[in-house]
Structure 1
Amino acid sequence: MGTSWSLQVVSPPAGASDGVQAAFDRVVAQMSQWEAESDLSRFNRAVPGAWYSVPGEFAHVVAAALEISSASGGAFDPCLGALTERWGFGSAGPIDRIPVDTTGGAIDRRIDFDAAGPRIRRSEGAALDLSGIAKGYGVDLAAEWLLAQGVRHFLLEVGGELRGEGIRPDGEPWWVDVEMPPSAPVAPYRLALHDLSVATSGNYRRGLARGGQHYSHSFDPKTGRPIVNGVSSVTVLHRSCMMADGWATALTVLGPQAGIARADEQQLAACVIAGDREYISRAWREMLD
């Protein structure tokens, strides 16, 4: 996944680290666009329109991605793999020049999902990219493995996505601080992760700078270009780290006002930082109270 992970656990069983790493390895083997032989990479090379059988974990993430895509009005789009590659955010690596014409929404980008298979197929213009949700799923998969081993109290973190279960040995919840963009005049929130996950999408960390201009790594599916809505950070709390991860991406694309409106509609606890302003959802505000 191109990042590090950490685990704080009360009474860890033998082989805890190996079990967690095995869960992450399974996600990479199935869903990485940087691994040429992953299920995702082989699917993207498959003939458009042909059904492709996928493992259960892969199918679970695709189903969640399509669910968030529908619920967000298309702001979360798992079919943007060709765009992310073209802009230098994929396996091909950085680019020297900014793409001139990405044709935006004119391309038919569609993934069809058959849960009974499970299997998926793609339209000619679609290439699957699960980087906006798969890392969160990796946290969930490893967390569920720990729970199945009888581990009840732990804090698991992968590249800034976290899931806390139970409590610390001192009886306190797992406290974590939300990192704010350097330019934001907003104090970091301290969150209690008691059977809860948190994911943050930050545009200030990853992007592309060319010709004195910064381009976000988050894309607007309607234009086919990096977003320009001023959002620098979105944090979402959810029981599922996968859903927190996917919705943080979707709200980033929607922008501050539309993002918070959608968060309220979906009853999501969300905080959006755009410029020097902070926008919070009703569910986030209720947690403050």
Structure 2
Amino acid sequence: MTAGRRRPFAIGALAVGLSLLAGCGPALERLEGPTMGSRYSIQYVAVAGAPSRDAVQHQVDDLLAEIDRDFSTYRGDSAVSRFNAASAGACLEMPGPVLHLVRVGEALSRASDGAFDLTVGPLLDLWGFGPQSRDERVPSQEERVAVAQRIGYPHLHIDGKTLCKDAATQLDFNAIAAGYAVDRMAARFEALGIHDYLVEITGELKASGRRPDGGPWRVAIEAPRSDRREAERVLALAGYGVSTSGDYRHYFERDGQRYSHTLDPRSGAPIAHGLASVTVVDRSALQADGLSTLLMVLGPEQGLAFAERQGIAALFVSHRGEGFVERASTAFEALPRAEP
């Protein structure tokens, strides 16, 4: 699971390699600003009868503020912070969205035999990747074993509107919160009668309809390079969410060894395989967000096998010598590519 300090959600920014290639025109409106320790960018085609730009901006601000109140681990009054501060054995009433994402996270964890886990917050702090940590460090095996006692979905229980824990377990939604926010934003635009848009929040995105010139939204998947930005592939998408996870920019080194910011909850340590990035395309940006993290933990071989079994559209880019090699799932190869 990815980690870092670039968002106000404790598992830090996903190493998203995406750029947006959108058309421009008089009917194209653009909104952008700070959110989740990063940025959001929205482009939409204004149509007759749609709310004013200021009214749309107000809707965007309200929704992002709501999500922050629920999921931010960088504000003590958020729902997740209150739960994390509670002692073992506590039960707290939680907002519906929090309970929903707990269930989504549990389903991803069960499907991957624990490769995905929203309760790894203490482990992230231990390695220096979480909001309660100060410096990146390599913890001892004894420290990892001690922290492991607080990690895992068996420690959680949903009872109606309350969430309970039988250990000092902490939740961190950074692996799926941005994708969830994108889906919520897309639904808000649909409710406003705006059906042609491209929503991007901290790198996770979703496209619907077409650009003002009638062409499709063009999404460039960035090659996993740390020295420059270049497109690996360019897709023409409508009705899909896109998420990329990677470690090619987010890591630290100690004594000549490289430690990825992507942690494997099963081992309590950073991933050690050669996978540089995974991009997932799915109708749900929430699912794309979670699956990209899950596949990043599984690695190039297990991850591709998982994607094929589940029919997931995924692009895997692995280190090979001084360069990279890509492998795509069958579902990913079937996606429409943009015309040059």
Which residue of structure 1 aligns with residue 80 of structure 2? 40
Of residues 168, 176, 183, the one that matches 1:140 is 183
1:128-167 correspondence runs (5 A):
128-167=171-210
- 1:269 aligned partner: 313
Counterpart of 2:7?
Answer: none
1:10 paired to 2:45: yes
Q: Which position in structure 2 is the counterpart of 1:283?
A: 331
1:198 corresponds to 2:231: no
CA apart distance, 1:96: 5.4
CA shift in 2, pair 1:229/1:105, >3 Å: farther
**Mapping 1:1-289, distance limit 5 Å:** 1-11=36-46, 13-14=51-52, 15-95=55-135, 97-101=137-141, 102-103=144-145, 107=149, 109-111=151-153, 112-114=156-158, 117-124=160-167, 126-182=169-225, 188-275=232-319, 276-287=324-335
Distance in 2 between residues matched to 1:80 and 1:118, nearest whole Å:
23
CA contact (8 A) 1:216 1:226 kept: yes
Aligned residues: 287
Tell me, yes or no, if the aligned pair for 1:271 and 1:284 is still in contact at 8 Å. Answer: yes
More off after superposition, 99-108 vs 239-248? 99-108
Change (3 A) 1:45 1:98: same
| 2:204 maps to amino acid | E
Q: Deviations over 1:56-115 (max 9, x none)?
A: 11112111111111112211111101011122222124315321231289525234342x
- Structure-2 change in CA distance of 1:21 and 1:175 (3 Å): same
Larger Rg: 2
What SS does the aligned partner of 1:120 have? Answer: strand
Q: Secondary structure at the match of 1:175?
A: strand
The answer to whether the Cα contact below 8 Å between 2:72 and 2:81 also exists between their aligned partners in 1 is yes
> Structure 1 residues 244 and 212, CA, compared in 2 at 3 Å: closer, same or farther?
same
> Once the 2 structures are TM-superposed, how far is the Cα of residue 216 of structure 1 from its aligned partner?
1.3
Aligned identity (percent) is: 38
TM-score where L is the length of structure 2: 0.79
Cα separation, partners in 2 of 1:258 and 1:174, compared to 1, 3 Å? same
Q: 78-87 or 123-132: which moved more?
A: 123-132
Structure 2 Cα separation of the partners of residues 100 and 145 of structure 1: 46
98-107 or 201-210: bigger deviation: 98-107
Residue 286 (structure 1) shift: 2.3
Q: CA RMSD in A?
A: 2.1
- Any gaps of 5 or more consecutive residues in structure 1? none
Are the structure 2 counterparts of residues 288 and 192 from structure 1 closer, same or farther at C-alpha, using a change threshold of 3 Å?
closer
1:109–1:123 CA contact under 8 A, matched in 2: no
Structure 1 distance, partners of 2:202, 2:254, is 26
RCO higher in 1 or 2 (8 Å CA, sep ≥ 6)? 2
